[in-house]
Chain A
Amino acid sequence: MSAIKSYDHPTNANQFNKDQERTHWHDSSLWFIREKRDRMSKSLPEWETLRSCASQIKAHTVSKLADYLEEFEKNATARGVTVHWAKDAEEHNRIVLEILQKHEAKRIVKSKSMLTEECHLNPWLEKHGIEVVDTDLGERIVQLREEPPSHIVMPAIHLKKEDVSNTFHEHLHTEQGNHDPNYLTESARQHLRQKFCQADVGITGVNFAIAETGGFVVCTNEGNADLGVSLPKVHIACMGIEKLIPKVDHLSIFLRLLARSATGQPITTYSSHFHGPVEGGELHIVLVDNGRSKIMNSDDYRNSLKCIRCGACMNTCPVYRRSGGHSYAATVPGPIGSILNPLRDAKHHKTLPFACTLCGSCSDVCPVKINLHEQLLTLRTEVKNQKQLPMSKTMPMRIASYVFQRPKLYAWLGGVGKFFLRTMPRFLIYNSLNPWGRNREMPEAPPESFRKQYAQRAKKKSDN
């Protein structure tokens, strides 16, 4: 399963679906979280008000982003924080490495950060002889397995406890065949404690950064971000420029939405507010663009910058649940990933907008009201306009368009189709030329066409 290399979503999804039992299990695990989210959202009568406030705050921030970025830098600097700016992933990685080299840091602990994942920071640092340990339990599991995370909030949601047990047996020498989650978590606790205590520098992501105060917030359930940055003297926080919010009071909106949407918790266990370095230490913040400013310019896709990475759209998506996160071949999978990835690289991620069923469930659960399914529909046109669609999709559309414009031809072909469906042997109908029939039965051909039935009805009525 980890061997997925192709960018083609249907191919990867097919591979995931080979293990039917696992597919069903994956589906129901995520639906369980979606249900918890529903219960949590209903516990607050102001849920919809929170969503619209969050959406408006984000829209406002993007409309004045340059001003807020400057305000943030000014206030953070005043608090003794060093602010860095990175145009792209390469520059981000270079900046982080320079800070590490300045401190002769060899061992790094990192808390979950989708941005550093997006920038491929780990392999870059490892190439330069630095040990990077992901400290979120799910992240550590997939890191030991040399896999990417399959979900942005629950990185190891695709794995069963037996898989984790085998991985830990191999790397942490836990008892073979002991699948107890308590035992496995305890083993990881002991293993990671050593890493926390040995670390030279801690790296975290940023959930929200506040222009007004120059501070930022990191949310975890495990406390790994806090342990990771309060033992070493140096903390590097990496954030996408869209993580900014104007005022500290706005956190009251976002912290109420984030965990409820993500895992169905009232709030994460630890919501840490960093406003300066530890005593005698250093705090660095790297502000990263990496394609975000380009998305700002598009009326169609600007809303996607509102995303707070809660993962609710993934948990509810019928396609994600049945195809697994790895099938998206991207750091951010699911509905939001199907927008962000093709916007950055249409050539590789062209199949993602077409994975969507347009059911709209993602837009319904999104805590910042991103119109996800509408954007996915618009993106399809874009992929077509960029001539990235395969012939297997464009050709049938062209033929259908030709036929629909010619009613007589359409009527005649309908008759031909019915005749063949009834009389042809199975292998001539169900073969590689008919991808629709691969997983489904073709409809039974009715004895008479609708057109004929309609005409007969009209005739009967006039006869009466």
Chain B
Amino acid sequence: MSSKDHILKSVRNQLVPSADLPSLDQEWIQYDDAVAHFGEVLQAVGGTAIAVEGIDGLTEELAKVPAYTEAKKTVSCIEGLVGTVDLARVEDPHDLEDVDYAVLPGEFAVAENAAVWVTDANIRHRVIAFIPQHVSLVIHCPDGKVEDAVVNNMAEAYQRLTWGRNEFGCFISGPSKTADIEQSLVIGAHGARSLHVFFVV
């Protein structure tokens, strides 16, 4: 008998009482000002959030970020913002090893935990969300309303998601961090040393 059959048989042979699934339609937390809450939580986990007007506003704000202005090798997956490396032309993701700054699209934000949903839908190499020294996530707000780009909680977040394609998706909440040495929080473990979230209205 194959191991698969062996395991399935072994699991099926057990007398486990049946149990119903709970309803996920419950009163999950709502915030009076979800956008403000998102900003506060993001700050607490080491990131910053700001609303900007159009691509010009984004460029203007990025110009105030030293890590961006000092970056030698940059990647941008945002229309209207140019990086020094064209991601689509990179064959081997290892070539992205020395990227200093990446500006990537985020789909929407979650207020309760400051997470931003990021996928590889238009990003050829998913490592670009993790390997640069610094990362900014840019969320385009429908009809210029930031409120529409922020959901209250994770239950609402999953309602927005679909799983049609072979997608890689990640909730990113703040910069990479660790507290493995005596519980001292250190920002910049393996991934980004800083994370800015821009809402483009």
Q: A63-B17, A293-B14 are in contact. Are A252 and B168 (CB under 8 A)?
A: no
In the complex, chain B residues whose CB is within 8 Å of the CB of A182: 184, 186
Report whether A65 and B11 are in contact in the complex, using a CB–CB cutoff of 8 Å.
yes
A57-B22, A66-B11, A274-B168 known; A224 and B158 CB under 8 Å?
A: no
Is B65 part of the contact surface with A, judged by Cβ < 8 Å? no
> Binding site of B, secondary structure by majority: helix, strand, loop or mixed?
loop
Residue B190 at the chain A interface, CB threshold 8 Å:
yes
Can you name the residue of chain A whose Cβ is closest to the Cβ of B5? A85
The total of chain A residues at the interface (CB under 8 A) is 94
| B142 close to A (CB within 8 Å) | no
Is the Cβ of A241 less than 8 Å from the Cβ of B175?
A: no
23 contacts between A and B (CB under 8 A): A33-B183, A44-B29, A52-B22, A57-B21, A60-B18, A63-B18, A137-B189, A138-B178, A161-B181, A161-B184, A188-B189, A213-B163, A249-B155, A251-B154, A252-B153, A256-B112, A263-B179, A271-B171, A271-B173, A273-B167, A275-B168, A279-B125, A296-B11
Nearest to A140 among chain B residues (CB) is B180
Q: How far is the CA of A353 from the CA of B11 in the complex (A)?
A: 26
A156 proximity list for chain B (CB < 8 A): 180-181
Q: Do A269 and B176 touch (CB < 8 A)? A: yes
Chain A residues contacting B171 (CB-CB under 8 Å) are 255, 267, 270-271
Contact A56 B186 (CB under 8 A): no
Is B10 a contact partner of A289 (Cβ separation < 8 A)?
yes
B176 in contact with A223 (CB, 8 Å):
yes
A227-B170 contact in complex given A87-B6, A181-B181, C-beta closer than 8 Å = no
The answer to whether A270 touches B183, judged by C-beta atoms less than 8 angstroms apart, is no
Q: Which residues of B contact A (CB under 8 A)?
A: 2-4, 6-8, 10-22, 24, 26-29, 41, 45, 93-94, 97, 112-115, 124-127, 129-131, 153-155, 157-159, 161, 163, 165-184, 186, 188-192
Task: Give, as a whole number of angstroms, the nearest-CB distance from A181 to chain B.
Answer: 4
The verdict on A160 contacting chain B, using a C-beta distance below 8 Å, is: yes
Most buried by B among A87, A161, A221: A221
Contacting pair B170 A85 (CB below 8 A): no
